């Protein structure tokens, strides 16, 4: 508690910013810097390891000075291991997944929060509670169900919903809609009702009230939620692992496991793979940091 | 998963009017656009949940006949399945570690950052960074740090002569995995508390300060109680994360050798060679029961908050 040295009364006030540096502040910075570096270190280690040949780290360990640095593992991950194909798979799942989840959830939220439908509370609970269940509770019956739903060949080469993108997208959307309903309903409650009433007086139907009047007001919330949902769907590991057996259809996060050999794992290659998989989410995070954080905290506070 | 609180609706009651008439087109729109998500939610989430409960009383390999066996799966699970109790223990450890170490640490960091230190943006971004990573990646990165022969930790400790097998030793590896999980959880908790702290009315703190409260008193007696909605969310997230834990251990060693978790046992029983679907479902129902307890508590809290306004 290095910070405790600051005078008690002034420290709690926001007005007390920009004071001359004091030993207490220095201690605070030293502490925060140490923690920050400790948090960054594993990521930096992964990047560092991915640039070095296996023989070198096998002989000297990951925590040693570099002798050779190269992007060979990245080339290998892209050419031999087909990471670009898996990346496309991830997009095929996550992009429609996010759009569908937002669309479906925003209408439910609109009906619950804006139209104040009877039974809206029950709906809200149904969706919220559903999103909190552990995935393993629903995985078995879904596995059985998807194996029994036939799909035409043009939709799925396996002729069943199992082992197709449809299964993964359906589960992602079904599962994440719950969370989106919840967040969007909270957001929509803060919008002024007068606009909607005015539209109603002008004879706007439910669809117009939803699509033309409410959704445009929800843009910040949708952007925030979309960013967050994209990251989650992209990061998901379990659904594809269970519902996809064809290695060519795996999304990139689940495919990472394939970089492990049966008897021997080149951890440097795995590190390169991890960096490749993590890079898009880190970029999204750095570029859309405000949206990302807003998505996480939306509705949990005024702001 | 994060979970914002239901914000009390400012005009929820006052604005309610008599029944509105919907045109036929409105009803069609409502029917389709409410029906689809509800059906999807029932088909993907609630139907399978009920099916899991049903299947847990049967014996089934996924292909042949489904035989009703009553509570036999549960009896086997509790008495004759050696991985079960270690998995329960590990899930509880996970909950305890996140709840007693990672969550308070996240709160502590949020309080420090909320004081308006310089470079606060840099600290925030760095501390959040692990949150955007997939748990599977966290598992892979953990191997670089904790691997016995080449791992960075053993190198930093300079104990090459007697290297510690951080992830291979069944008494030790769960703690290393917990540290990796906490790495991600801390930043998450911090974001939520930081947002909560920013919305605390500054005049409350001023009033406390004028009344001569120390900083510590101001925080624990004045600020912390107003954070109740955030506390509830963080509590729920912590519990749910602990029950859902799967990816990290699966990425490390498929959840064996000291890293057993309930979620891993479920997955192993369904997609494993044996395909013991009834038995796997029984484990899933144990998970379900525990999480429903927490979910119900949470919803009741939310409803109570809703009624107060």
Smallest Cβ–Cβ distance between A64 and the set B2, B155, B284 belongs to B155
Chain A residues within 8 A of B271 when measuring between CB atoms: 143, 241-242
**B46, closest residue in chain A (CA to CA):** A130
pLDDT in tens, A216-267: 999 888 988 898 899 999 999 889 988 998 888 899 988 887 777 666 777 8
CB contact under 8 A, B215 and A45: no
pLDDT at B200: 83
Residue partners of A16: CB distance under 8 A and separation at least 6: A10, B116
pLDDT at B18: 45
**Residue that wins the pLDDT comparison between A299 and B162:** B162
Domain spans, chain B = 74-308
pLDDT in tens, B161-194: 777 888 888 888 899 999 999 999 999 899 889 8
Which DSSP helix (H) or strand (E) runs through B67?
A: strand B67-68
In angstroms, the CA B279 to CA B58 distance is 8
How much of chain B is helix, strand and coil, in % rounded to 5?
Answer: 70, 0, 30
Kindly calculate the radius of gyration of chain A based on its CA atoms and give it in whole angstroms. Answer: 24
CB contact under 8 A, A277 and B137: yes
Smallest Cβ–Cβ distance between A177 and the set B37, B117, B118 belongs to B37
* Closest approach of A218 to chain B, Cα-based (Å): 16
In angstroms, the CA B71 to CA A56 distance is 56
Chain B residues within 8 A of A174 when measuring between CB atoms: 40-41, 43-45
Q: Look at the block and give the residue holding tokens 């510590």.
A: B216
pLDDT at A1: 37
Does A81-297 carry CATH code 1.10.3720.10?
yes
Which DSSP helix (H) or strand (E) runs through A129?
A: helix A120-132
Q: Please return the burial class of A123, using the count of CB atoms within 10 Å of its CB with bins 0-12, 13-18 and 19+.
A: buried
**A270, closest residue in chain B (CA to CA):** B140
Domain spans, chain A = 1-8+22-50, 81-297
**Residue that wins the pLDDT comparison between A19 and A88:** A88
CB B240 within 8 A of CB B103: no
CB contact under 8 A, A13 and B137: no
| Contacting B residues, span 103-162, partner chain A, CB-CB under 8 Å | 109, 112-113, 115-119, 122-123, 125-130, 132-137, 140-145, 147, 149-152, 154-156, 160
Does B74-308 carry CATH code 2.60.98.20?
no
> Considering only CA atoms, which of A202, A228, A217, A219 is closest in space to residue A288?
A228
CB B144 within 8 A of CB A42: yes
Which DSSP helix (H) or strand (E) runs through A283?
A: helix A267-287
In angstroms, the CA A132 to CA B244 distance is 10
**B105, closest residue in chain A (CA to CA):** A35
CB contact under 8 A, A289 and B125: yes
Chain A residues within 8 A of B187 when measuring between CB atoms: 39
Low-confidence ranges of chain B (pLDDT < 50): 1-2, 7-19
CB contact under 8 A, B140 and A16: no
List A150's β-bridge partners, or say none.
A160
pLDDT at B308: 57
**B160, closest residue in chain A (CA to CA):** A61
At residue B181's C-alpha, the angle toward residues B180 and B182, to 5°, is: 90
> Considering only CA atoms, which of A303, A236, A3, A238 is closest in space to residue A101?
A236
Contacts 24+ apart (CB under 8 A), B87-94: B87/B260, B87/B261, B87/B262, B87/B264, B87/B265, B88/B262, B90/B174, B90/B259, B90/B260, B90/B261, B91/B242, B91/B243, B91/B245, B91/B261, B91/B262, B93/B174, B93/B178, B94/B178, B94/B181, B94/B241, B94/B242, B94/B245, B94/B261
Interface test with A, best of B15, B19, B137 (most A CBs within 10 A): B137
CB contact under 8 A, B29 and A301: no
pLDDT for residue A16 is more than 60: no
Q: How far is CA B186 from the centre of its chain?
A: 12
CB contact under 8 A, A137 and B43: no
Of A19-23, A91-95, A149-153, A295-299, which has the strongest mean pLDDT? A91-95
Percent share of chain B, pLDDT over 70:
90
* Closest approach of A67 to chain B, Cα-based (Å): 16
pLDDT in tens, A155-181: 888 888 888 999 999 999 999 999 899
Chain A residues within 8 A of B125 when measuring between CB atoms: 286, 289
CB contact under 8 A, A281 and B132: yes
pLDDT in tens, B62-105: 778 888 988 899 999 999 888 899 999 999 999 999 999 999 99
Q: What is the ipTM of this complex?
A: 0.83
Q: Please return the burial class of B169, using the count of CB atoms within 10 Å of its CB with bins 0-12, 13-18 and 19+.
A: middle
Chain A residues within 8 A of B130 when measuring between CB atoms: 39, 43
**Helix count (H) and strand count (E) of chain A?**
16, 0
The structure's pTM equals 0.84
């Amino acid at each position: 508690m290095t910070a405790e040295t600051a005078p008690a009364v002034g420290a709690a006030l926001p007005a007390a910013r920009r004071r001359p540096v004091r030993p207490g502040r220095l201690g605070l910075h030293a502490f925060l810097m140490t923690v920050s570096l400790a948090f960054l270190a594993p990521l930096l280690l992964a990047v560092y390891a991915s640039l070095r040949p296996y023989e070198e780290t096998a002989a000297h360990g990951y925590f040693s000075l570099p002798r050779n640095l190269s992007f060979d593992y990245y080339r290998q991950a892209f050419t031999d291991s087909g990471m670009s194909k898996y990346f496309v798979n991830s997009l095929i799942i996550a992009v429609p997944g996010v759009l569908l989840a937002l669309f479906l959830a925003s209408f439910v939220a609109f009906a619950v929060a804006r139209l104040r439908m009877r039974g809206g509370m029950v709906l809200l609970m149904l969706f919220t509670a559903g999103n909190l269940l552990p995935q393993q509770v629903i995985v078995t019956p879904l596995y059985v169900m998807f194996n029994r739903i036939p799909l035409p060949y043009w939709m799925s080469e396996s002729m069943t919903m199992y082992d197709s993108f449809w299964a993964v997208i359906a589960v992602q959307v079904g599962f994440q809609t719950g969370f989106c309903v919840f967040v969007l309903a909270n957001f929509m409650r803060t919008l002024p009702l007068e606009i909607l009433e005015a539209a109603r007086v002008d004879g706007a139907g439910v669809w117009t009230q939803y699509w033309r009047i409410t959704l445009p007001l929800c843009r910040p919330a949708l952007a925030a939620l979309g960013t967050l949902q994209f990251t989650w769907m992209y990061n998901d590991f379990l659904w594809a692992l269970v519902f996809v057996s064809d290695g060519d259809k795996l999304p990139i996060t689940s495919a990472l496991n394939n970089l492990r050999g049966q008897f021997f794992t080149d951890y440097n290659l795995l590190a390169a793979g991890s960096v490749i998989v993590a890079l898009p989410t880190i970029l999204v995070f750095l570029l859309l940091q405000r949206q990302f954080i807003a998505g996480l905290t939306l509705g949990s506070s005024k702001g | 998963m994060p979970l914002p609180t239901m914000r009390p609706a400012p005009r929820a009651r006052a604005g309610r009017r008599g029944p509105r008439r919907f045109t036929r087109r409105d009803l069609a729109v409502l029917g389709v656009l409410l029906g689809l998500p509800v059906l999807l939610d029932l088909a993907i989430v609630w139907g399978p949940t009920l099916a899991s409960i049903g299947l847990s009383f049967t014996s089934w390999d996924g292909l042949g006949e489904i035989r009703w066996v009553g509570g036999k799966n549960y009896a086997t699970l509790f008495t004759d399945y050696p991985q079960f109790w270690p998995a329960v223990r590990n899930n509880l450890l996970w909950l305890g570690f996140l709840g007693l170490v990672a969550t308070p640490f996240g709160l502590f960091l949020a309080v420090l950052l909320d004081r308006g230190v310089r470079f606060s943006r840099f600290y925030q971004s760095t501390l959040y960074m692990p949150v955007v990573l997939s748990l599977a990646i966290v598992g892979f990165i953990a191997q670089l740090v904790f691997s016995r022969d080449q791992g960075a930790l053993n190198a930093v400790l300079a104990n090459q002569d007697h290297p510690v097998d951080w992830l291979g030793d069944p008494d030790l590896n769960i703690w290393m995995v917990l540290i990796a999980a906490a790495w991600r959880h801390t930043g998450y908790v911090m974001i939520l508390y930081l947002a909560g702290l920013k919305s605390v009315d500054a005049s409350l703190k001023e009033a406390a300060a004028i009344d001569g409260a120390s900083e510590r008193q101001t925080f624990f007696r004045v600020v912390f109680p107003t954070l109740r909605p955030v506390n509830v969310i963080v509590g729920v997230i912590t519990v749910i994360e602990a029950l859902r834990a799967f990816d990290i251990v699966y990425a490390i060693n498929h959840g064996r050798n000291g890293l057993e978790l309930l979620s891993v046992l479920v997955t192993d029983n369904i997609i494993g060679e044996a395909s013991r679907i009834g038995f796997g479902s029984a484990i899933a129902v144990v998970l379900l029961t525990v999480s429903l307890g927490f979910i119900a508590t949470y919803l009741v809290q939310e409803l109570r908050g809703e009624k107060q306004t």
